[in-house]
Each structure stands twice: as structure tokens, then as C-alpha cells.
């Protein structure tokens, strides 16, 4: 099977008028947009909070805590979604009148993920009456039981897929638990937290109205910068609800209505807030927050987001940037090690590399906080599910898994665990990413079981790497105006992918820039047999693709229209995602 395959999206049979620009019309229709009104991304069109199962019970307990001014402890996760969720919960509860709100996030190296009994012991020393989890907790059966022994109530707000047995919490607010009917199953942890606060504000104002008191003046839109960052960084599908939350957050950031820490992170990442897009969050802002949780303590990222002091935010953003640089250095070293192992294995005459549907690696010296990134890089490079393990104490190992389309990685791990009892200590995650832990003694058995399960899912053969294209463009359609419109019409991301196109070009010039990138001058090739009359010339950039093409070659290119900002000038640039020779 070919290692790449370009498929063009098809238009629905009936397409309403969505946009006056024909290219934008085509792109939106390809993604199933049904009316132009869907592009308003109005907050009023969001699903109602009361549609979330468990939210009434959560508000009942929070109202009780508010009236008695109980101590509330927010327990979050150590990634970007967890950091934004924790910040949102603390700021939101304080704004609504809670006087004793603190937070605690387990260090991944000491406690691991979630509301574990060990982290509850730490929490109990802080003497809360109520724990509110954000971006975790749906699988924390033992942790909730431990909290009950301390007479601490627990409200769980989470979005991860639930286990068969749910914790005995006061309330579980999660759009994915059994019986949930909320229209969006794809909320990030920060989105679930936002909805709980929306419902709580309504409940508080209903009570105040009944008692003849002034209504609570808390503008929830002020928190949408956090919601946008956490949602994009967690790579959840951008369904209609998430696109609205992200777009509204981006609009506020672009207008300068964002927290000092958000502004500092954007600046430190070399981006400009006035033209921030979802991709900037995913590639620049999110990684800097994640770096704290990967290498040290996510509380540094949370403090950056919490502070109202621009100077303090600036200093914390610099520290986060340094951590991100360190993370990149560690990742590069680990990737070199992993690629050497893979290369040695693939060159071995005893290994049929074409028959390997998955890759599992473990190294004693790899960093726990970076294995997820390494798994993602190798997954992209090899186009197969990857699990990377690092040491977890003397007897254990901890793994991070990343997958490809067609292989639901959490379901694969569930199958492995079901068919091999006691092989995996614990696991959890989503369709494309998961985490797990097991004994070192079980590593070899896991490798075999994982490979066999993935192979069964794929029918014994890896699929071709597919590029889903919005079709060909004419020279006149490849223009700055269209690139600008595509930037502005919608946030793009997982499940609502940014538009890409495919065409054949002649490579007129090519030079390496940076470490492994190509700066190209491309000229369009006519689709008919008259190849003597080439079309317009276009500047292009191909990241991490040095050495793939030669000057004078005709290449099939999968690309996006991008706006290049340089010295105050704007110009069109083709962003090359993939290219291969046409053989001409």
C-alpha cells in the first residue's frame, strides 16, 4: 500500500448559501456547516447548563458551601487543560463570593494523575470541607472513598471517558457519563468547569432575586480566554459548542480583554494577541503552560494565569518559556535515542517492519514528563500507534500512548486489559491519546498484546497516511484575500480541520532555512497536457521537510493558504503539509 493518499472532500447534495466567497462556501460546506447563522458563534446559542447531568446536585452542594463559607479546595490536572480549569474554578468561585478557595495539583512524579488516595491525604491537611475536581476524577473511586473517611465531600467535574464503576461523589458532572444527554460530548475539562460556574451563577441570582437582594454581577465572558486556551490545547474535537467557546475567547484576546498571564504568554511565545488564532494556542501558548507540568510543577503555570499583576505575569511567563526550552532539549535527545532504536530494528533482517502495526519503546533514562510528546512525534513520523514508557520507581513503568485515525487507543488498552487480567495496573484516556502504568516485568507481554490488538483492529495492515483535501485551487483563488478570510471565518482544529488543498507545482527554487525547513518558490502546473505554459509563482514554506524535493521537479503538494507577516507587510505564503514527486 502507498504510504500516502490524497482524498478530496465531497460536497453535500444540497448546500445552502453560507458565504458570498465561493471558496469559503466550499470549505464550510465540506465540513457540514448547515447555515450561515452557525458562523455567528453567539454565546446565546450555546446549550443550556442544566442539560448537563449532575449539575443541579453540584450547584446544591456549592450553594451550601457558599452559605456556610466552607473551605473549598480545587484539585486539578498537570496539563494545560488542568491549569486553565484550576484557574477558572478558583477565580470563578472567588468572584461569586467564596472566601476560602485554594487549589492543589498533584505532581506527576510523586502522585500521578487524578484524585488518588495519596493526594487526598495531602488535601486533608489543608482542611477543606469540599473538594471540587477539574479535568479529572471520573475514575477516582478510591480517592473519593478516602475523602469520605475525612468527611470531605467531593464534586467531580471531568470530561474523560468513565470506567465501569463510578466514584461515590456528591455529584459527577461529565458529558460522557452514562445517561448524559448534553449535546456536546467533546467539552474539555475547562469547558465543563465553565458550565458549572454558569449554572452556579444562575442559582445564586435566583436565590438573591427571591430574597430581594442585588443580583451577582459576574460576567462569565471574562473567563473565556482561559476556556479557549484549555479547549484548544487539549485537542478535543471542535464541535459547534467548542468552536463557539474558542471563537469567543479568541475575540476577547484579540481585543486585549484577557488576563495578564495570557498576554504575557502570548508575548513570550513571539505571537501578537491582536491576530491570535487557535493554531497559535496549540503550538505556542499551550506548550509553555504544559512545560511546567511536564518538568516541574504546574502551579507555576497556574500562578501565571491567576495573577492580576502584569509584572509578575511577565516574570512567570519567562520562567515557563525557559522550562519549555528545556523540555524541547530533552525531547530532542529522547527522540534521537528512539529513532536510533527504531532504525536498528527496522534494518534487522529478523523484523518484518511492514508487519508491525504499532511501536512500543521503553528507556530507563527517558523523562516521564516528555514521553507523551515523543509518542506523538513518532506517531506522526511512522504513522502508527505508539506507546512510550519511562521508569516509574524501581518496579514500575509509566506509558503515554498516541494513535492514528481508525484506532481508538483507549478502547485498545481496554481490550488488552480485559484479555490479559493484571497486565495493566491502570489506564485512561481518549480515542487518540491515553496513559497507562504497569510493572516492568509485564513490559514484554504488553508489547505483544498491544501489537496483536492493534493489528486486529487494522486487519493486519497499516492504512496509508491520508490527506483530506478541499480540492484544487486556481491561481486566482490562491490569494492574500482568501488566506485572510480563511483565517477569520472560524477557529480550526481537531474535528473541524483547517482547510488544505492539493495541486501540482514546479519547484523553481529551494533552500534550507533553520535546521530542517525548506523555503520554496513554486510555479503552478496546468492540469491539461500542455505543460509548456506554467502558471503563477508562489512563495512556500515546508517545515521539517528538507531534502524531499529538487529544483526542476514537479511535485504534488498538500498545502494551506497562509498570511505571512514580515516587517509590517502582509503577503501570501503556501504552508506545505506534504509533497511528493509526480515522477515527471
| 35 domain-assigned | no
Query: Residue 476 is part of a domain; what is its CATH number?
Result: 2.40.50.460
Q: What is the pLDDT of residue 454?
A: 97
Residue 489, SS3 per DSSP: helix
Query: Residue 283 is part of a domain; what is its CATH number?
Result: 3.90.1640.30
Q: What is the pTM assigned to this prediction?
A: 0.91
- DSSP string covering 327-361: HHHHHHHHHHHHHHHHHHHHH-TT--GGG---EEE
Q: Are strands 101-104 and 465-469 parallel, antiparallel or unpaired?
A: unpaired
| 223 domain-assigned | yes
Longest Cα–Cα distance of the chain, Å, equals: 82
- Give burial (CB, 10 Å; 0-12/13-18/19+) of 274: exposed
Laid out side by side, the sheet with 72-75 consists of 101-104, 72-75, 130-134, 153-157, 171-173
| 472 domain-assigned | yes
The answer to whether residues 65 and 166 belong to one domain is: yes
Query: Residue 404 is part of a domain; what is its CATH number?
Result: 3.10.310.30
Q: What is the pLDDT of residue 348?
A: 45
Q: What is the pLDDT of residue 464?
A: 85
Q: What is the pLDDT of residue 481?
A: 97
| 23 domain-assigned | no
Domain count of the fold of the chain: 3
- Mean pLDDT, all residues of the chain: 93
Q: Which residues contact 329 (CB under 8 A, 6 or more apart)?
A: none
The answer to whether residues 181 and 232 belong to one domain is: yes
Q: Are strands 569-581 and 554-566 parallel, antiparallel or unpaired?
A: antiparallel
| 15 domain-assigned | no
The answer to whether residues 185 and 92 belong to one domain is: yes
* Nearest Cα residue to 358 out of 452, 466, 464, 459: 452
Query: What does R_g of the chain's alpha carbons equal in angstroms?
Result: 25
Q: What is the pLDDT of residue 530?
A: 57
| 530 domain-assigned | yes
Last residue of a domain, one of 401, 432, 463: 463
Last residue of a domain, one of 291, 321, 351: 321
282 secondary structure, DSSP code: I
Last residue of a domain, one of 463, 478, 494: 463
β-bridge partners, 509 = 521
Q: Count other Cβ atoms within 10 Å, centred on residue 16.
A: 12
- Which helix (H) or strand (E) is 103 found in, with range? strand 101-104
Q: What is the pLDDT of residue 347?
A: 59
The answer to whether residues 197 and 54 belong to one domain is: yes
The answer to whether residues 358 and 435 belong to one domain is: yes
Task: Answer whether 157's CB lies under 8 Å from 134's CB.
Answer: yes
The three-state DSSP-derived secondary structure of 491-523 is: CCECCECCCCEEEEEEEEEEEEECCCEEEEEEE
Task: Answer whether 435's CB lies under 8 Å from 413's CB.
Answer: no
pLDDT digits (tens, 9 = 90+) for 481-532: 999 999 999 999 999 999 999 999 999 999 998 878 899 999 999 876 555 6
**% the chain with pLDDT above 90:** 83
Residue matched to cell numbers 512567570 = 316
The answer to whether residues 295 and 438 belong to one domain is: no
Distances (CA, A) of 549 to 7, 52, 467, 579, 581: 22, 52, 19, 8, 7
What is the extent of the structural domain holding 486? Answer: 4-9+467-581
Q: State the helix-helix crossing angle for 240-254 and 189-210, rounded to 10 degrees.
A: 80
The answer to whether residues 226 and 372 belong to one domain is: no
pLDDT digits (tens, 9 = 90+) for 329-388: 999 999 888 878 777 766 543 333 545 899 999 999 999 999 999 999 899 888 999 999
Q: Count other Cβ atoms within 10 Å, centred on residue 400.
A: 23
The answer to whether residues 510 and 540 belong to one domain is: yes
| 346 domain-assigned | yes
Residue matched to cell numbers 460522557 = 176
Residue 100, SS3 per DSSP: coil
Q: Which three three-digit cell numbers place residue 46?
A: 450555546
The answer to whether residues 449 and 485 belong to one domain is: no
Q: Count other Cβ atoms within 10 Å, centred on residue 163.
A: 15
Q: Which residues of the chain have pLDDT under 50?
A: 1-2, 348-352, 354
Q: Which three three-digit cell numbers place residue 109?
A: 512524579
CA 246 – CA 231 distance, rounded (Å):
7
The answer to whether residues 420 and 481 belong to one domain is: no
| 164 domain-assigned | yes
Amino acid at each position: 500500500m502507498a504510504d500516502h493518499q490524497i482524498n478530496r472532500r465531497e460536497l453535500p447534495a444540497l448546500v445552502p448559501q453560507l458565504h458570498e466567497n465561493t471558496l469559503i462556501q466550499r470549505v464550510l460546506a465540506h465540513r457540514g456547516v448547515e447555515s450561515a447563522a452557525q458562523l455567528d458563534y453567539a454565546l446565546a446559542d450555546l446549550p443550556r447548563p442544566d442539560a448537563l447531568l449532575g449539575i443541579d446536585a453540584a450547584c446544591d452542594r456549592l450553594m451550601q458551601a457558599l452559605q456556610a463559607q466552607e473551605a473549598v479546595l480545587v484539585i486539578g490536572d498537570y496539563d494545560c487543560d488542568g491549569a486553565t480549569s484550576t484557574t477558572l474554578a478558583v477565580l470563578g468561585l472567588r468572584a461569586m463570593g467564596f472566601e476560602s478557595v485554594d487549589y492543589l495539583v498533584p505532581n506527576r512524579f510523586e502522585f500521578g494523575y487524578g484524585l488518588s488516595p495519596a493526594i487526598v491525604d495531602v488535601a486533608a491537611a489543608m482542611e477543606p470541607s469540599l473538594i471540587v475536581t477539574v479535568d479529572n476524577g471520573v475514575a477516582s473511586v478510591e480517592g473519593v472513598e478516602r475523602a469520605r473517611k475525612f468527611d470531605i465531600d467531593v464534586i467531580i467535574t471531568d470530561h474523560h471517558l468513565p470506567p465501569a464503576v463510578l466514584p461515590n461523589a456528591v455529584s459527577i458532572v461529565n458529558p460522557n457519563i452514562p445517561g448524559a444527554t448534553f449535546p456536546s460530548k467533546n467539552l474539555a475539562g475547562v469547558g465543563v468547569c465553565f458550565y458549572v460556574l454558569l449554572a452556579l451563577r444562575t442559582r445564586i441570582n435566583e436565590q438573591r432575586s427571591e430574597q430581594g437582594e442585588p443580583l451577582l454581577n459576574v460576567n462569565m465572558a471574562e473567563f473565556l480566554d482561559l476556556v479557549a486556551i484549555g479547549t484548544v490545547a487539549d485537542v478535543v474535537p471542535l464541535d459547534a459548542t467548542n468552536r463557539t467557546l474558542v471563537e469567543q475567547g479568541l475575540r476577547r484576546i484579540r481585543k486585549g480583554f484577557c488576563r495578564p498571564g495570557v498576554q504575557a504568554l502570548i508575548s513570550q511565545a513571539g505571537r501578537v494577541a491582536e491576530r491570535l488564532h487557535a493554531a497559535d494556542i496549540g503550538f505556542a501558548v499551550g506548550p509553555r503552560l504544559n512545560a511546567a507540568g511536564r518538568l516541574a510543577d504546574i502551579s507555576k503555570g497556574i500562578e501565571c494565569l491567576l495573577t492580576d499583576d502584569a509584572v509578575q505575569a511577565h516574570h512567570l511567563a519567562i520562567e515557563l518559556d525557559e522550562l519549555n526550552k528545556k523540555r524541547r532539549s530533552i525531547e530532542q535527545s529522547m527522540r534521537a535515542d528512539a529513532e536510533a532504536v527504531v532504525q536498528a530494528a527496522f534494518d534487522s533482517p529478523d523484523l518484518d517492519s511492514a508487519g508491525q502495526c504499532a511501536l512500543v519503546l521503553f528507556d530507563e533514562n527517558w523523562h516521564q514528563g516528555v514521553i507523551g510528546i515523543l509518542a506523538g512525534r513518532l506517531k506522526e513520523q511512522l504513522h502508527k500507534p505508539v506507546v512510550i514508557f519511562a521508569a516509574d520507581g524501581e518496579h514500575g513503568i509509566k506509558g503515554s500512548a498516541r494513535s492514528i485515525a481508525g484506532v481508538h487507543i483507549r478502547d485498545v488498552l481496554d481490550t488488552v486489559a480485559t484479555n490479559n487480567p493484571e497486565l495493566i495496573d491502570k489506564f485512561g484516556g481518549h480515542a487518540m491519546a491515553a496513559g497507562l502504568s504497569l510493572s516492568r516485568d509485564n513490559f514484554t507481554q504488553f508489547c505483544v498484546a498491544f501489537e496483536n490488538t492493534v493489528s486486529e483492529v487494522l486487519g493486519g495492515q497499516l492504512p496509508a497516511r491520508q490527506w483530506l483535501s478541499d480540492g484544487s485551487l486556481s491561481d486566482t483563488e490562491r490569494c492574500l484575500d482568501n488566506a485572510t478570510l480563511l483565517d477569520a471565518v472560524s477557529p480550526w482544529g481537531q474535528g473541524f480541520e483547517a482547510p488544505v488543498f492539493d495541486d501540482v507545482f514546479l519547484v523553481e527554487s529551494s533552500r534550507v532555512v533553520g535546521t530542517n525547513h525548506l523555503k520554496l518558490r513554486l510555479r503552478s502546473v496546468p492540469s491539461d497536457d500542455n505543460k509548456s505554459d506554467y502558471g503563477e509563482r508562489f512563495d512556500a514554506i515546508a517545515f521539517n521537510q528538507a531534502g524531499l524535493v529538487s529544483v526542476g521537479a514537479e511535485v504534488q503538494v498538500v498545502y494551506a493558504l497562509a498570511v505571512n507577516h514580515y516587517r509590517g507587510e502582509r503577503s501570501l505564503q503556501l504552508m506545505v503539509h506534504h509533497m511528493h514527486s509526480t515522477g515527471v
